[in-house]
Amino acid sequence: MRAVVHDRYGSPDVLRLEDVARPVPKDDEVLIKVHATTVNRSDCGWRSGDPFFSRFFTGIRRPKHKILGSEFAGEIAGVGSSVTKFAVGDRVFGACGFGAHAEYVCMRESRMIAHKPEGMSFQEAAAVCDGVAIAGACLKSVELHEGRSILIYGASGSIGTAAVQLAHNTGAHITAVCDTEHVELVKSLGADEVIDYTKDDFTKQGQQYDVVFDAVGKNTFRRCRRAIVRRGTYIETDLGFMWHVPALTLLTRLTHKLGGRRVTLPIPKYAPEEVVVLKQLIEAGKYRAVIDSARPLEQIVEATKYVETGQKTGNLVITVTEEGTRQ
């Protein structure tokens, strides 16, 4: 099978497309024929091996996971002897951690996988799980509801577009921060107000929010604290790169014990129930995929370089098969 592999850390140029052995599912695993996948910032962080701290998860000297890619949409091509939830031919979507930048990937049926929502293309289904897993974990930590306010910084990215839609479903008042080009998009996703960061700085407007959610890891609690009400929350999402996790962990503990404004660093679970709930939201018309563009597997290097510019809107999809190109 074709797969994008890397056997050393570095720039996107370490990625290469080559033929590798097709994986064989274990007793509790399914074999998925991948029609579409994505490139996200976690993929970029694991590939670069920078900061060095991240290599404790992926291999100190060389990457343990040579095939990246977490999100997928495709069909079940094989099942292990103890699998009960899926059958060959089922159309599925989900997130597997590693291995989706290939024509086939294996994963346990107990992981984040579900039947693909009705009426959704493979491209769209591939572009929803990771952002929802991260944004969902963050929003659960603050218990949003009607009467509460949240500011989402970086509202047009993968995590940001997920956060706006999930927050909208809670009834909370949403202020989204993005550039001029994406103002109408985030309004269509459910934002009540939009601040164009190319024109205004939300930290200097005197407005305070119950929650400030940095969906792109480009702010700091120190910079944003005056925009947060007393006993409000600052949510950090910089998990993919982890360059300041130790400092943030200390900060979360200190702010929790000292009272007042607090910092949280939620860890997404990637649990099966998460993708089942997401499927229900999609089929109810309460969530939709936001796709920047779709590119073939052969253009993985160029696609990765584009993701690393930080300018993508929503998700960048990689089509693996001809079926993955169809709407």
CATH fold match for the domains 2-128+289-325 and 130-264 = no
The pLDDT of residue 246 is 47
**Phi/psi at 292 (nearest 5 deg)?**
-70, -55
* pTM for the full predicted model: 0.92
Of the pLDDT bands very low, low, confident and very high (cuts 50, 70, 90), residue 324 is confident
pLDDT higher than 50, residue 241: no
Supply the pLDDT for residue 272.
92
Peptide bond into 51 cis (omega under 30): yes
Greater confidence, 163 or 237?
A: 163
d(CA 87, CA 92): 10
Q: How do residues 285-301 score in pLDDT, each as one tens digit?
A: 999 999 999 999 999 99
Cα separation of 7 and 68, whole Å?
11
Contact 194, 178 (CB under 8 A): yes
Split at pLDDT 50, 70, 90, the class of 236 is confident
| Pairing relationship of beta strands 209-214 and 149-153 according to DSSP bridges | parallel
Q: Strand 104-108 vs strand 29-39: parallel, antiparallel, or unpaired? A: antiparallel
In 192-244, alpha helices (H): 221-224
* Superfamily of chain region 2-128+289-325: Medium-chain alcohol dehydrogenases, catalytic domain (3.90.180.10)
pLDDT the model gives residue 119: 93
Is residue 41 over pLDDT 60?
A: yes
Amino acid at site 7: D
Q: Show me where the domains of the chain are located.
A: 2-128+289-325, 130-264
Residue 92: per-residue pLDDT: 98
Determine the CATH number of domain 130-264.
Answer: 3.40.50.720
Rounded Cα distance between 99 and 41, Å, is 15
